[in-house]
Structure 1
Amino acid sequence: MIRATASDSLILRDVPGHINDSEILSFLYTKDVNWQHVNAIKTLTDFNDDIISDWLNVTVKTFREYKKPQTTFKENVKEQVLLLLSLIKHGITVFGSVDEFEQWLNQKNFYFDNKSPNSFLNTITGIRFVDDRLTAMEYGDNV
């Protein structure tokens, strides 16, 4: 895994720690979600371009274009990138490390209809659902 840079850590520090509509909307309207945020997803996790492009519902080629400085995003892509980063931040908080969080994301789980939580990250509703499960774990649910 490529280790996170100081820039990635700053990006992660600035994103909301939980998916909260008002915080997400405020971030989207006051800050720029750009190629650095996409690169942060890549460097903060062990997920490959195929998986991340699937989450964003784009081809691998398009995803690779997203990682370039000159790229601008549509609003829905900005929102999805921000939600994924927020989920990653929340997952690291709950599990204590990105490795433990990724392991949980990749394991089949009863609460996800015996699918891995990872398979739900290609929609905003799915990202929110996974984030809700993380919150449930914080409060003692077996998820």
Structure 2
Amino acid sequence: MAEALKIDSNLSYDLTDDRNLLALVRAARQGIKYEAFKSIADKSPFSTDEWSGFLHLSERTFQRYKKEKRTFDPIHSEKIIEVILVYNKGIEVFGDQDKFNIWLETQSVALAGLRPKELLDTTFGISLLKDELTRIEHGVLA
């Protein structure tokens, strides 16, 4: 079984438990330290260029964050957490990290011919991916 990406072992996406959602809010507000982000990014299938696109930050800004050991602003921290949560949900649904990574790269009829990872740059796109993963999980395929 694949290991989920983690910033904090207590953070998970469970809509039935407000405490978990409040922990996510706190984590986003506190900001994600570059070192924690780098650890996650290295375990993810996404390149620095892709993360840069998801977060709407230039690669030069990433280099500055690394050099200065900065903490991401809340808006970028929230997006990092959202990407991690949808990624972990995908591994859970597919039961295999490699299968999920292939799905992320494959054009989807249900997603208007886009590759799922192309939607990770907006909250709306992430919401679409979560909905699609829920449909897959329940066997409702488009």
**What is residue 53 of structure 1 aligned with on the other side?**
52
Q: Which moved more, 1:23-32 or 1:96-105?
A: 23-32
For 2:23, the aligned partner's letter is: S
Per mean C-alpha deviation after superposition, the further-off stretch among 48-57 and 69-78 is 69-78
Distance in 2, matches of 1:72 and 1:115, equals 32
Question: Following superposition of structure 1 onto structure 2, how do residues 1-143 of structure 1 map, counting pairs within 5 Å?
Answer: 10-11=6-7, 13-17=9-13, 22=18, 23-29=20-26, 32=30, 33-67=32-66, 70-142=69-141
CA distance in 1, matches of 2:89, 2:110: 18
Q: Which residues of structure 1 form unaligned runs of 5+?
A: none
Q: Among the aligned pairs, what percent are the same residue?
A: 26
Shift, 1:107, TM fit:
0.5
Q: Distance in 2 between matches of 1:69 and 1:90?
A: 32
- The code of the aligned residue for 1:11 comes to I
Once the two structures are superposed, what CA deviation does each residue of 1:52-103 show, in whole Å capped at 9, x if it has no partner?
1111111122234445672122111111011011111101111122221111
Runs (5+) with no aligned partner, structure 2: none
Count of matched residue pairs: 137
Q: Is the 8 A contact 2:13 2:21 kept in 1?
A: no
Farther off after superposition, 118-127 or 20-29? 20-29
CA contact (8 A) 1:15 1:82 kept: no
The AA in structure 1 aligned to 2:34 is W
Change (3 A) 1:15 1:74: same
Conserved? CA contact 1:35–1:68, under 8 Å:
no
| Counterpart amino acid of residue 26 in structure 2 | Y
Moved more, 21-30 or 96-105: 21-30
